[in-house]
């Protein structure tokens, strides 16, 4: 596999980052994951805009222009012959002598790699996933897509230990989001409910697209908090992210949601998302 590191396309075993890189020492970095379907990048512009926002919230310089970033994405997809999968991009504040304060003249690091993966026909989309709820113990700026992913990793392990696929995080009695995805329910009246935007969740690029498609299809949408109790009693539940698109959730904390199979709204939204993206 060919990866991109600070201007070079290299075999992965030759790619190197300094041990003093602040991404490594302080998790002082941000990232994006963009999906590839039929060799085409999905929603690159949305990801580039969110990256710019993450960088600006952290006073981190952009290593290259967003146009150059698009070229690097395309080049890497071509070189690795990715028909379907993901492009991972990470920007850190770069190498500097270890100091909590930011370096005066940061030299940001830019790393990209690809992962070939079956996304559109992922078998799990037919059966749906099971989740548990856990406390949300992340920091308060989840709208910035930083590489501090230890708590989401721990959440994923808690899910595995419970024999399920993922965890929904709860704060002050309300669901924030999944470990690496946005969370939704569909009420018995057919309204799609997902948490409103704020510092408490990542502003998903897939979320924005799916809500747009839902509204275009005359589906009712409410952006507000919901509880685990409301979710257990919902007609349907699902998650969205660049790596799962729209993925039905069929069980929460051991309780079946709806009839325990992917619901019609989630199924329809997944179809629409794939039609619009391909
Ligand atoms: N995760 N919420 C969190 C906490 C996330 O990490 C992600 C994405 C999302 C969905 O955002 P988007 O629709 O822009 O992918 C929501 C990526 C896929 C990851 O970490 O691999």
Q: Are residues 148 and 106 in the same domain?
A: no
- Find the CATH number of the domain harbouring 176: 3.20.10.10
Q: Are residues 206 and 97 in the same domain?
A: no
Q: Are residues 159 and 50 in the same domain?
A: no
Evaluate: CB of 46 within 6 angstroms of ligand 1. Answer: no
CA distance 124 to 244: 10
Evaluate: CB of 35 within 6 angstroms of ligand 1. Answer: no
Structural tokens at position 99: 């100091």
Question: For residue range 160-194, what is the model confidence (pLDDT) as tens digits?
Answer: 999 999 999 999 999 999 999 999 999 999 999 99
Domain residue limits at 253: 124-277
Q: Are residues 180 and 243 in the same domain?
A: yes
Structural tokens at position 167: 């965890």
Q: Are residues 144 and 95 in the same domain?
A: no
Q: Are residues 184 and 244 in the same domain?
A: yes
Candidate list 16, 49, 130, 145, residue with the active-site label: 145
Query: Which mutation among 180, 183, 203, 212 tests ligand 1's pocket best, with the greatest number of atoms within 8 A of CB?
Result: 180
- Number of domains observed in the structure of the chain: 2
Q: Are residues 131 and 268 in the same domain?
A: yes
Evaluate: CB of 54 within 6 angstroms of ligand 1. Answer: no
Evaluate: CB of 242 within 6 angstroms of ligand 1. Answer: yes
Question: Of 55, 87, 116, which marks where a domain is finished?
Answer: 116
Question: Of 98, 116, 134, which marks where a domain is finished?
Answer: 116
Q: Are residues 7 and 70 in the same domain?
A: yes
* 145 labelled catalytic: yes
ipTM of the complex: 0.99
Q: Are residues 138 and 105 in the same domain?
A: no
Of 69, 71, 76, 40, nearest to 55 by C-alpha is: 69
Q: Are residues 168 and 198 in the same domain?
A: yes
180 Cα: distance to centroid of ligand 1 (angstroms): 5
- Find the CATH number of the domain harbouring 33: 3.30.470.10
pLDDT at 278: 81
182 Cα: distance to centroid of ligand 1 (angstroms): 7
Question: For residue range 240-270, what is the model confidence (pLDDT) as tens digits?
Answer: 999 999 999 999 999 999 999 999 999 999 9
Question: For residue range 206-244, what is the model confidence (pLDDT) as tens digits?
Answer: 999 999 999 999 999 999 999 999 999 999 999 999 999
CA distance 219 to 4: 41
Report the b/e string of 222-258 with b at 16+ CB within 10 A.
eeebbebeebbebbbbbbbbbbbbbbbbbbbeeeebb
Atom of ligand 1 nearest to the CA of 31: 20
The residue whose CA is least distant from atom 11 of ligand 1 is 204
Question: Of 116, 135, 163, which marks where a domain is finished?
Answer: 116
CA distance 273 to 214: 10
Evaluate: CB of 21 within 6 angstroms of ligand 1. Answer: no
């Amino acid at each position: 596999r060919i990866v991109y590191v600070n201007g070079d396309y290299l075999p992965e075993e030759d790619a190197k980052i300094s041990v003093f890189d602040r991404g490594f020492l302080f998790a002082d970095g941000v990232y994006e994951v963009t999906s590839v379907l039929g060799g085409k990048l999905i929603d690159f512009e949305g990801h580039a805009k969110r990256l710019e926002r993450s960088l600006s919230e952290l006073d981190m310089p952009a290593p290259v222009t967003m146009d150059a970033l698009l070229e690097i994405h395309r080049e890497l997809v071509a070189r690795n012959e990715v028909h379907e999968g993901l492009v991972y991009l990470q920007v850190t504040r770069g190498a500097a002598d270890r100091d909590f304060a930011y370096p005066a003249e940061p030299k940001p690091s830019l790393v990209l790699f690809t992962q070939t993966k079956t996304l559109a026909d992922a078998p799990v989309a037919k059966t749906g996933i099971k989740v548990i709820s856990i406390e949300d113990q992340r920091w308060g700026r989840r709208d910035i897509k930083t590489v501090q992913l230890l708590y989401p990793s721990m959440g994923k392990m808690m899910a595995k230990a419970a024999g399920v696929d993922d965890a929904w995080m709860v704060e002050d009695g309300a669901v924030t989001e999944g470990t690496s995805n946005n969370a939704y329910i569909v009420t018995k009246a057919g309204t799609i409910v997902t948490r409103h935007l704020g510092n408490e969740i990542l502003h998903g690029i897939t979320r924005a697209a799916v809500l747009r498609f839902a509204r275009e299809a005359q589906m009712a949408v409410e952006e507000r908090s919901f509880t685990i109790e409301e979710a257990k009693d919902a007609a349907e539940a699902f998650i969205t992210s660049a790596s799962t698109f729209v993925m039905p959730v069929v069980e929460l904390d051991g309780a079946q949601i709806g009839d325990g199979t992917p619901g019609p709204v989630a199924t329809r939204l997944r179809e629409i998302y794939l039609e619009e993206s391909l």
